Structure 1
């Protein structure tokens, strides 16, 4: 079991053998479906493309992007909770006894949860695209499911969700307390960062800084932002730059967690 393949298999088993992943996924899918379908119904029924607040080619990708723009919170929580659970229940102890090279365990956990995040990305897109496309078709708007740009957005959305799960793992390693990790995730994603992103539009300098916030980078990677509804927060990063920012955040928090808690005695 000390081979990397064995360690990776063990980490995947830890995810699939608990109820955490599917409970979070059910909540996520229901939440995104309601929001995406509701937004499509609201803006799609306000008028024709000439009178609607959003043109069809802008409304459709915005509706579909609700998958990562809302679901990323669940991907972060999955990564953080899957990691902090190990500290809480001390399951890291037998893992480290079987695999003394803790770096191997951490890399395997990052890969396993990144894959789980990609699965969450697929589920989130099933919810946003499924509900959104159905409602758009009902109100007479082309859901653009045969458009190459739509599928590019879908692919980038799955990638964004995978990277968010990796960030969650790094956070869980950095902050082993499960309660603290949950509070940090919810407070930052639901209150702190939205305020920072809105405030960053005040000056050109703050706007340049604000584009590197995690949520802004994620929206740049996906190619759409819910903040555009308010006429703010332009996507100033290229999609690949947004992806690199998320990768960098995942790497930095994981390294910090390695030096602060992962190498310590967990018993």
Structure 2
């Protein structure tokens, strides 16, 4: 098993994929976070909606995690490419010949992607905190607030990026065509799912459903405020442990179905 994991990690870190993804992750994390830190203001209390004033701790969390949507989109693409490129270039055959137990191969891919997602997550966190803290400090605002809330959000961001990489892995197996998988999943994760979740959140009957969507579960993990389609009315959200479990369930379901299909799919 150890050799299979090392092999999967070698496939990622001995190609141009790792630095080709690392560069945009660092640049986007630093750029978007610096922009948010420079232009955003802590929200004031709104008694009519029952919204308290935003603390500087929560403002710091929102600033550092503001670009996480771009981050998990990229790690999801890493997961898709990790398996999709093998089907595209038909190297999956040699992989299964080297390790005949397909379940072991897929388990190694899961572990390798968790490590890779954590690596990219660390790059994202370091870039976001470095850029965001510099701007917040220059404005005289707190960079880490009080207590362990901000460090906890940063640690959970590592978990978020790793889980979205697994979601990408499962999607890449379910849709063997790499290009189609990338287009479909980016469209769902970046456009369709957030819009649908916002629409449902604005309806009384759909509010309880929308909080279980991947993007809403991600927001819950990072203590970000969720709003309806008009971005003004706060909606009910899960606790951060529940959000983590929901996101873990999505990744486990897609990776599990993908692994099951892989063990029964013919390769050439």
Residue 239 (structure 1) aligned with residue 252 (structure 2): no
- Partner Cα distance (1:263, 1:202) in 2: 42
Alignment partner of 2:141: what SS?
coil
| 1:27 paired to 2:24 | yes
Q: Could you tell me how far 1:263 is from its partner in structure 2? A: 2.7
Matched residue, 1:60: 60
For 1:147 and 1:70, the matched residues in 2 are separated by 27
Equivalent residue for 2:71? Answer: 71
CA distance in 2, matches of 1:70, 1:251: 22
Whether 1:255 and 2:256 are equivalent positions in the alignment is: yes
Contact preservation (8 Å) 2:56, 2:145? no
Task: Give, in whole Å, the separation in 2 of the partners of 1:9 and 1:36.
Answer: 34
Matched with 2:118 is 118
Q: Which residue of 2 aligns with 1:190?
A: 190
Question: Gaps (5+ residues) in structure 1?
Answer: none
In structure 1, the residue matched to 2:48 is: none
CA distance 1:41–1:110, change in 2 (3 Å): same
Please give the TM-score of this superposition, normalised by the length of structure 1.
Answer: 0.89
- Residue number in structure 2 paired with 1:89: 89
Q: In 2, distance between residues paired with 1:146 and 1:222?
A: 16
Q: Give, in angstroms, the shift of residue 57 of structure 1.
A: 3.0
After superposition, the C-alpha distances for 1:4-46 in whole angstroms (9 at most, x for unaligned) are 11111111111111111211121121112111111110125x9
1:160 Cα deviation (Å)?
1.0
SS at 2:243 equivalent: helix
Equivalent of residue 40 in structure 1, options 24, 29, 37: 37
Taking a change above 3 Å as real, the CA distance of residues 258 and 123 of structure 1, as seen in their structure-2 partners, is same
**Cα deviation, residue 118, structure 1:** 0.9
Q: Give, in whole Å, the separation in 2 of the partners of 1:33 and 1:231.
A: 27
Report whether the alignment pairs 1:224 with 2:224: yes
- How far residue 256 of structure 1 moved from its aligned partner, in angstroms, is 2.2
2:109 maps to 109
Q: CA deviation at 1:74?
A: 0.7
Q: Is the 8 A contact 2:75 2:117 kept in 1?
A: yes
CA RMSD of aligned residues (A): 2.3
Q: Is the 8 A contact 2:57 2:149 kept in 1?
A: no
Q: Does 1:209 align with 2:209?
A: yes
How many pairs does the alignment contain? 260
Answer 1 or 2: which has greater helix percent. Answer: 1
